[in-house]
Amino acid sequence: MINVKIKLSIALLSVCMFSNAQNHIKLADPSNEVTINKHIYGHFAEHLGRCIYDGFYVGEANDSISHTAGVRNDVVDALKKLQIPNLRWPGGCFADTYHWKDGIGPKGARPSIVNNWWGGVTEDNSFGTHDFLNMCELLETEPYLAGNVGSGEVQELADWVQYVNFAGKSPMSDLRRENGREEPWNVKFWGVGNEAWGCGGNMTAEYYSDIYRKYATFMADWDNSGGLYRIASGANSADYHWTETLMKNIPNHLMKGVALHHYAVINWNKKGPSTKFSDEEYFKTMKSAWFMNELIEKHTAIMDKYDPQGRVDLVVDEWGGWYEVEPGTNPGFLYQQNTMRDAMIAGMTLNIFHNHAKRVRMANLAQTINVLQAVILTKGKDMILTPTYHVMEMYKVHQDALLIPIALESDNYQYGEDAIPAISASASKDKQGKVHISVVNIDPSQQKKVSLDLGAIQAKNVTGRILTTSNLREHNTFEQPNTVVPKEYKEAKLQGNHIEIAIPAHSVIVLELI
């Protein structure tokens, strides 16, 4: 038996695990200070495998797939339904090899590039700055541009900012107009490099913090009057020294966000299959996903030390499951299937983000289409939605809602001598006064009875939706695209200020109270 209590930064969520504990969730009063920022629901589109080309973009000349300026209309419709708040591009590792001026102007005159990071393929640069930013307008989402620090220069990034944001007369805004765009796009989110500790240059934290200060200075004026949201390349998982160095060395006024990357990986040298995984591999994946909670707590503690006012946000701009590629596919394309295991990762991780919403203000699932924990898979004319897509669609009710702190007691999900909480949960109150509670049971075989104490929250009616399957390894295919889809959940029983639910094994439930 183990007894673990986890204290979050909001100091109002606790998780207690006992071998045969009663699963219990108690809601506090909605916070008037902490909002679950919609940008936690961001996505990531890197020039990697079939994410951009043959994913988002099928080309203007394509006459077999419905598109707008080469961008698939079915993808646009699906992502708009998710209400994605931001989209990160062009990388990832690719960002620090990308020179944006190669991707503007007449497409036939653009130079090609070899994507050394991902498969060694040659790209024709037909999808560039205008294509991406115009696509974001189609998606009704905010662009998040990742700047080239690793192989680029300060002037190159400063020119990019001027090209996309400056409304007056200047060399770069004049060039933008020559290329067909009169008004600027007014891009707010900017990454100053990516994974500077690795593919972004193998830098030390001390060196990168100085480099960051230089780049950030020349991206804006004295007062950052353009309102740029500059994001520093942050730590790789548990590299707390990296976060400490950046927070200590970079003035707050130069930095609005510090990134954090963490993937739910079993072993980087042996990641395991995406669908035919063992029970042990499932547990280890869930344990790695649950580690996100500890990472956020410890990185937040460092940030609180140097920024007690909370002016700098923690931006988890790469997260998700990472397995071996599907058999017969290019190893450099990172194409993997998406099962109920991925739904568990998504539900658990989003609950963690919600409960740390005071500091975690933005995040980006890796990646949107055909890469890693994708929400969409495409094959020719066909498109399917993954279990991860359905979790994010169910959870979108939490976007920009007031956080309701909770106290949680959970059974163990135990494997061998190791254990993690079986239940994760979060709650919020939206602008219409509706309360939403999301509950995840990651136990692969045991149904869990959960008692919810609403405290002072009054409710007359409860409805719900559930994502569940009979088999943890089930997934949607192009032959059977609706194997895993949300269904109505009618089993919630409201009695006074209490609700009783029975959540099946490996399931996600979202309740709505009115």
Per-residue pLDDT reduced to its tens digit, 342-394: 999 999 999 999 999 999 999 999 999 999 999 999 999 999 999 999 999 99
The pLDDT mean for the chain works out to 95
Q: Which helix or strand (DSSP H or E) is residue 219 part of?
A: helix 205-219
Which of 46, 123, 142, 318 is flagged as catalytic? 318
Give which of 254, 250, 264 is closest to 303, Cα–Cα.
250
Q: Is 190 helix (H, G, I), strand (E, B) or coil?
A: strand
DSSP for 342-391, please give it. HHHHHHHHHHHHHHTTTTEEEEEEE-SBSSSS-SEEEETTEEEE-HHHHH
C-beta neighbour count of 312 within 10 angstroms: 22
Reported as a pLDDT band with limits 50, 70 and 90, residue 31 is: low
Asked if 195 is an active-site residue, the reply is yes
d(CA 202, CA 495): 58
Spell 228-250 as b/e; 16+ CB within 10 A means b: bbbbbbbbbbebeebbbbbbeeb
Written out in words, the top-level CATH class of the domain with range 36-400 is alpha beta
CATH 2.60.40.1180 is right for the domain spanning 23-29+406-513: yes
Mean pLDDT on 28-50 = 93
Q: What is the pTM of this model?
A: 0.94
- Vertex 465 angle, CA 485 and 419, to 5°: 85
Per-residue pLDDT reduced to its tens digit, 85-110: 999 999 999 999 999 999 999 999 99
Mean pLDDT on 130-142 = 98
CB 438 within 8 A of CB 508: yes
Please report, for the chain, the start and end positions of each structural domain, with discontinuous segments joined by +.
23-29+406-513, 36-400
Please check the confidence at residue 13 and state whether its pLDDT lies above 70: no
Which of 46, 123, 142, 195 is flagged as catalytic? 195
Please check the confidence at residue 142 and state whether its pLDDT lies above 50: yes
